[in-house]
């Protein structure tokens, strides 16, 4: 035996490919013989055009073991210096309950399941998505919500095209209020250009020039919580559709868009237990009245009956979808974030309406205390109303730099304004740290008593009254509920599944760990 072959036995080996790529050598040989080729190399040479076929091996380092790769990824990730993010703009710190992390996010019974087009093997997922839809409809004050969209900005683009379909206006203009998240404005412009629509960013006076729809924000991007009822009436008087981009946690305390008279509500469910993840992915939503159901994008879960008359769930109004209607579809079959929508729905199930109120009130109270402290130091926030965000006049670059030095990321609005947003993870010490950047200080308990409400219209109706949001508030109850739902499903953890290729089912456990 040569020295080289002896040394090769000392190198760590790994059977990742053999374990992850299912067919055995005998099965591979049989498949190759059926299609008439002698090897995988011959198959590639036969099927890949020579003009794009790479001749020779890729210039890559040698193979690594799974353990080595995970160690290297941990080392790379460890070089990140994550500051406390107070940037807001639809992205917030949140606490995902461990029972949801362990039993949903990390459970292949949930993350390998495919789109529930076959209801007989999807009743668990369908129930979870129905809970999500119910949560969205209840919090936004509408009759109907879909089973998630990709993110808030693309949800706004979907709402714009939905407004175009449902509006009787002949205008091609879509008005966007100037105090809207900049990423939403950018996506709207990108979506509008190829379909012949014009996005106009400005104030409500632009309505006089004609438009088929208007997008307002509640709260606004810089933190105001206005009473939009008069504005929405003005939109309707102009024959346009009123769309409101909203925040689910804010909807717990403030009058929601549906109760204000809006036609459509959109937003992100990220802060309901889904980590920021450096910007995504997160589940978005769109809600509207039942009369607009056939124009609503995305999937809809509906209650039906089986052949024996028992209640069951299925995807409803599928004739809207791309796999049936093709170019006439109002919904693309891929416009969903089901795993993350399920997590957000389970977050509401875990906390219930009272738990959500406690979280929202705490976030709002911390923001009010910060506003009080700033005013006491002679600094007036830009708005007299707020939920979780304050915009403050200052030398923006200096404050941003000081924040970085203190481990805090604030939002630079412009040269003369900085904004910061609080969330479920914000502590009193973080509030003190933010105030110190402006030379202000918080005085407990005086600032608690002195802080004003900051919400123009308080929510007065009940929400999430359904039993599912009141039954599973202890870990063993929630754990068993999640298990019961999973037992109604068929996913890769049980067997091969009959539909789909665009899911997470092809990812090995090691690939999911980082």
Cα distances (angstroms) measured from residue 202 to each of 128, 153, 417: 39, 18, 19
- Residues 338-366, mean pLDDT to the nearest whole number: 97
Residue 382's pLDDT is 96
What whole-number distance in Å separates Cα of residue 129 and Cα of residue 135? 10
Q: Indicate the pLDDT class of residue 176, thresholds 50, 70 and 90.
A: very high
- Residues 435-448, mean pLDDT to the nearest whole number: 83
Residue 25's pLDDT is 87
- The pTM (predicted TM-score) of the whole model is 0.91
- Residues 354-382, mean pLDDT to the nearest whole number: 96
What whole-number distance in Å separates Cα of residue 275 and Cα of residue 282? 8
- Residues 184-197, mean pLDDT to the nearest whole number: 97
Q: Which long-range contacts (CB under 8 A, 24 or more apart) does 310-318 make?
A: 312/119, 312/123, 313/119, 313/122, 313/123, 313/126, 313/127, 313/130, 314/119, 314/126, 315/116, 315/117, 315/119, 315/126, 317/293, 318/117
Is pLDDT above 90 for 82? no
What's the angle, vertex CA 183, arms to CA 404 and CA 424, rounded to 5? 55
Is pLDDT above 90 for 410? yes
Mean per-residue pLDDT over the chain, rounded: 90
Lowest-pLDDT range of 123-132, 178-187, 273-282: 273-282
Residue 13's pLDDT is 63
- Residues 134-142, mean pLDDT to the nearest whole number: 98
- Residues 48-63, mean pLDDT to the nearest whole number: 87
Percent of the chain with pLDDT over 90: 70
What whole-number distance in Å separates Cα of residue 255 and Cα of residue 90? 19
- Residues 407-431, mean pLDDT to the nearest whole number: 98
- Residues 146-154, mean pLDDT to the nearest whole number: 93
Q: Indicate the pLDDT class of residue 30, thresholds 50, 70 and 90.
A: very high
Residue 63's pLDDT is 80
Residue 451's pLDDT is 61
Percent of the chain with pLDDT over 70: 90
User: 428-437 and 338-376 are packed helices; what angle lies between their axes, rounded to 10 degrees?
Assistant: 50
Residue 509's pLDDT is 83
Q: How does pLDDT run across 205-258, given as a tens digit for each residue?
A: 889 889 999 999 999 999 999 999 999 999 999 999 999 999 999 999 999 999
**What are the start-end ranges of the H helices in 78-195?**
98-100, 108-111, 123-140, 152-166, 182-192
Residue 320's pLDDT is 64
Lowest-pLDDT range of 1-15, 85-99, 176-190, 353-367: 1-15
């Amino acid at each position: 035996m040569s020295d080289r072959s002896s040394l090769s036995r000392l190198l760590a080996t790994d059977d990742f490919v053999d374990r992850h790529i299912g067919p055995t050598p005998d099965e591979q040989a049989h498949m190759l013989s059926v299609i008439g080729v002698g090897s995988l190399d011959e198959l590639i040479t036969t099927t890949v055009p020579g003009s794009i076929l790479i001749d020779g091996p890729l210039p890559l380092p040698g193979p690594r073991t799974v353990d080595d790769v995970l160690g290297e990824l941990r080392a790379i990730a460890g070089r990140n210096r994550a500051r406390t993010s107070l940037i807001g703009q639809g992205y917030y710190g949140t606490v995902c309950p461990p029972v949801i992390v362990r039993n949903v996010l990390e459970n292949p019974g949930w993350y390998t399941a495919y789109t529930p087009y076959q209801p007989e093997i999807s009743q668990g997922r369908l129930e979870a998505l129905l809970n999500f839809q119910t949560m969205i409809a209840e919090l936004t004050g509408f009759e109907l919500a879909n089973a998630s969209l990709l993110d808030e900005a693309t949800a706004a683009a979907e709402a714009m095209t939905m407004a175009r379909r449902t509006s009787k206006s002949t205008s091609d203009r879509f008005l966007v209020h100037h105090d809207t998240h900049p990423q939403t404005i950018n996506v709207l412009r990108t979506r509008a250009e190829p379909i012949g629509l014009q996005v106009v960013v400005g104030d409500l006076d632009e309505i006089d020039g004609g438009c088929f729809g208007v997008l307002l924000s509640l709260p606004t991007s810089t933190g105001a919580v206005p009473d939009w009822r008069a504005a929405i009436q003005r939109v309707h008087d102009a024959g346009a559709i009123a769309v409101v981009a909203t925040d689910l946690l804010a909807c717990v305390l403030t009058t929601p868009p549906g109760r204000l008279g809006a036609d459509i509500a959109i937003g992100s469910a990220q802060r309901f237990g889904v980590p920021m993840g450096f910007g995504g992915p997160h589940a978005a939503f769109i809600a509207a009245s039942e009369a607009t159901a056939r124009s609503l994008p995305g999937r809809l879960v509906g209650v039906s009956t089986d052949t024996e008359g028992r209640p069951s769930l299925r995807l409803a109004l599928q004739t809207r979808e791309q796999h049936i209607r093709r170019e006439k579809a109002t919904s693309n079959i891929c416009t969903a974030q089901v795993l993350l929508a399920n997590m957000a729905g389970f977050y509401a199930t875990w906390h219930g309406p009272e738990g959500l109120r406690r979280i929202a009130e705490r976030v709002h109270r911390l923001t009010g205390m910060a506003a009080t402290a700033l005013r006491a130091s002679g600094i007036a926030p830009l708005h007299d109303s707020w939920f979780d965000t304050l915009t403050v006049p200052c030398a923006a670059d200096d404050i941003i730099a000081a924040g970085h030095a203190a481990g805090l990321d604030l939002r630079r609005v412009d040269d003369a304004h900085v904004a910061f947003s609080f969330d479920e993870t914000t502590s009193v010490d973080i509030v003190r740290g933010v105030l110190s950047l402006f030379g202000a200080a918080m005085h407990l308990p005086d600032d608690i008593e002195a802080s004003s409400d900051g919400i123009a219209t308080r929510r007065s109706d009940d929400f999430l009254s359904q039993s599912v949001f009141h039954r599973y508030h202890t870990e063993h109850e929630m754990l068993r509920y999640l298990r019961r739902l999973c037992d109604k499903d068929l996913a890769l953890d049980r067997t091969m599944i009959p539909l789909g290729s665009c899911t997470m089912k092809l990812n090995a456990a090691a690939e999911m760990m980082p």
